[in-house]
Amino acid sequence: MARWKDGSGEPTGDVARDFAPDFAALLDSIRGIRWPARSAVRGGIPGAHTSRMRGTSAEFTEYRPYRQGDDLRRIDWKLFGRSDRAYIRLSNDRAILPTTVVLDASASMAFPVDTHAKWHFATELAIGLAAVARSSADPVGLIIAQQGKMVQLPPRTRQGIIHEMLRAVSEAKPEGNAPLTPALTAAMRASGRIVLITDFLGDAEELLSTAARGIVGAKEIHAIHIVAPEELDPPRETLLVADPEDPEVRRPLTADARDSYLLAYASWREAIAHDWSDAGASYTMVVAGDETPDHIIRRIAAPRGVSASA
């Protein structure tokens, strides 16, 4: 039975122990992290993020002169008594920011084949970021782009949503070459913030084009690029390597081929980082195992210009 902290909306580590000890430790380590929106969000249901709407909350921002039709209750009568001029108190309302995590479950995410390190690291980031968003009372959802029918959990605020996500990622298996763009498109219909966790070894161009349209439409998109250490530094002995999404493609990895691969892979990563950042997304490349998931989550959730340790 899953247990939750009373009234906080945050899952305890007990929720994850049914699935894997790593999830339990992760959820315990990120409790208390907050993830503010990168910019003011559209008004709506009250929440933790600054809204574009001007309202009557306690968070005062500025005055403006009274105009005919304004609510008389918003006049600052004390200021009126001192200046004999009518001014309206303006304040920023607070709003929720529905967040959906889009998780790439194609075969390349199962690399290396003996450890599935990329996949396990990606699932920890997915659950951790969803839990952080949920701790601010934001609705959170999950889409897993996998072979066959993709898994969709629409953004919800109910307490059991993190438990449902844990079950979904634990049951998913990275295989095949399902495109990620349909999952991103579905996420943009339901959420203002989308977290894309992938190795970009798929429909990268179409994915970027779709994300760019969403960013123009005021979507907040976080692109998390998962890389395995073995992709950055493959073995030096000659190997026969295969494309995980197309096993028929096999090539020998000789010393010369290794050098060419390293140059091409570095150039490709640089292009991915440039293109996504230039489109307005928050781009983060992570090497599975180089950092703990909670430290990466702190970096992603930190406001611009604030370090992860701040």
- Spatial distance between the Cα atoms of 9 and 163, rounded to a whole number of angstroms: 12
> Which residues lie closer than 8 Å to 171 by C-beta, 6 or more apart?
none
- Spatial distance between the Cα atoms of 296 and 175, rounded to a whole number of angstroms: 25
Low-confidence winner among 43-47, 143-147, 180-184, 215-219 (lowest mean pLDDT): 43-47
| pLDDT score recorded for residue 15 | 46
DSSP-assigned beta bridge partners for residue 250 = 242
Report the Cα 296 to chain-centroid distance in Å.
Answer: 11
Q: Give me the long-range contacts of 5-12 (CB less than 8 A, separation at least 24).
A: 8/135, 9/134, 9/135, 9/137, 9/157, 9/159, 10/131, 10/134, 10/135, 11/131, 11/134, 11/159, 11/162, 11/163
What is the reported pTM? 0.75
pLDDT band at 169 (very low <50, low <70, confident <90, very high): very high
- Give residue-wise pLDDT tens across range 74-124: 788 888 888 888 887 765 555 778 999 999 999 999 999 889 999 999 999
pLDDT band at 142 (very low <50, low <70, confident <90, very high): very high
Q: How confident is the prediction for the chain on average, in pLDDT?
A: 81
- Spatial distance between the Cα atoms of 265 and 239, rounded to a whole number of angstroms: 18
> Which residues lie closer than 8 Å to 63 by C-beta, 6 or more apart?
76, 79, 87, 88, 89, 90
| pLDDT score recorded for residue 256 | 74
> Which residues lie closer than 8 Å to 102 by C-beta, 6 or more apart?
143, 145, 180, 183, 184, 187, 194, 195, 196, 197, 198
Q: Which CATH class is domain 13-37+98-301?
A: alpha beta
Q: Give the whole-number percent of the chain exceeding pLDDT 70.
A: 75
pLDDT band at 7 (very low <50, low <70, confident <90, very high): very low
- Give residue-wise pLDDT tens across range 51-77: 444 444 445 556 778 888 777 877 888
Domain ranges of the chain: 13-37+98-301, 49-95
The residue with greater pLDDT, 231 or 15, is 231
